[in-house]
Chains A and B, each alone.
Chain A
């Protein structure tokens, strides 16, 4: 049972480049979300999804796009990377809306130069 899998673990981008951070879960969870973690800022919600085909914005959505075509996958796209997007990104999933525990992936450390 892999849980929540994020790829890649590390990535360096040049300003203006685009890329997709992958997130997959094998627990059949309906609810998935993306966070970024910055020193002294905790985890801030970027986007979330309550099921396939349904997404919504979190606290800091600008510069990021998401889609949810399947229950298992929830990719995060950076359209034009900026140095301000240098961060550690975490994907999380939980079983359903009212459920409690969120399961986090191992994170993707992204550096934009």
Chain B
């Protein structure tokens, strides 16, 4: 049973464009929703995270939008750059335990 569903599987965006990755979760007990970025040959690294008491969080070019009633959250990358090309994972956890990850989205930003 996949508790966190992520889409799309892959994404190609022009430099300067907006990249959007979507995730949906099932367990309403989740209380922490991070996004991780992974470059080839490296471990994932935290990019940005949100808690369900806010609807949006922005850090630089990266924004998380959160819809609690729909049990969905998304990552928006504004002004996408070739250096943003990586695999992105959404995740969800309850109290920090048992973080469940989405399947990942491979982003390629064309120069």
Contact A42 B103 (CB under 8 A): yes
Q: Does A106 contact B (CB under 8 A)?
A: yes
Set of chain B residues within 8 Å of A35, measured between Cβ atoms: 101
**Is B32 in contact with A41, judged by CB distance below 8 angstroms?**
no
* A104: Cβ under 8 A from any B Cβ: yes
Residues of A close to B46: CB separation below 8 A: 100-102
Would A42 and B32 count as touching, CB distance under 8 A?
no
Say which residue of A42, A96, A105 sits within 8 Å of B89 (CB atoms): A42
Report B49 CB to chain A, min CB distance, Å.
Answer: 6
Q: Which one, A41, A58, A97, contacts B103 given CB within 8 A?
A: A41
Pick from A58, A59, A98, A107: contact of B95, CB under 8 Å: A98
Q: What total of chain A residues lie within 8 Å of the partner, measured CB to CB? A: 28
Select the stretch in B37-45, B54-62, B76-84 that faces chain A. Answer: B37-45
A99 to B32, CA, bound (A): 10
Q: Are B97 and A43 in contact (CB under 8 A)?
A: no
Q: A31 touching B104 by the CB < 8 A rule?
A: no
Asked whether, in the complex, the Cβ of B6 is within 8 Å of the Cβ of A42, the reply is yes
Among B41, B42, B101, point to the contact of A43 (Cβ < 8 A): B101
B14 CB within 8 Å of chain A: no
Q: Kindly supply a per-residue 1/0 record for chain B positions 6-33, scoring 1 wherever the CB is within 8 Å of any chain A CB and 0 otherwise.
A: 1001000000000000000000000010
- The reply to whether A45 and B99 form a contact with Cβ atoms under 8 Å apart is yes
B102:A106 contact, CB within 8 angstroms: no
A90 contacts the other chain (CB 8 A): yes
Q: Are A48 and B97 in contact (CB under 8 A)?
A: yes
Whether B96 lies near A31 (C-beta < 8 A) is: yes
A4–B9 CA distance with the chains assembled, in angstroms: 28
Nearest 6 A-B pairs (CB), nearest first?
Answer: A104-B43, A43-B101, A42-B103, A42-B101, A101-B46, A97-B96
A35-B101, A59-B98, A104-B43 known; 16 other A-B pairs, CB under 8 Å? A42-B101, A43-B44, A45-B100, A48-B97, A48-B98, A58-B98, A59-B100, A90-B44, A97-B97, A98-B96, A100-B32, A100-B34, A100-B46, A101-B34, A101-B46, A107-B42
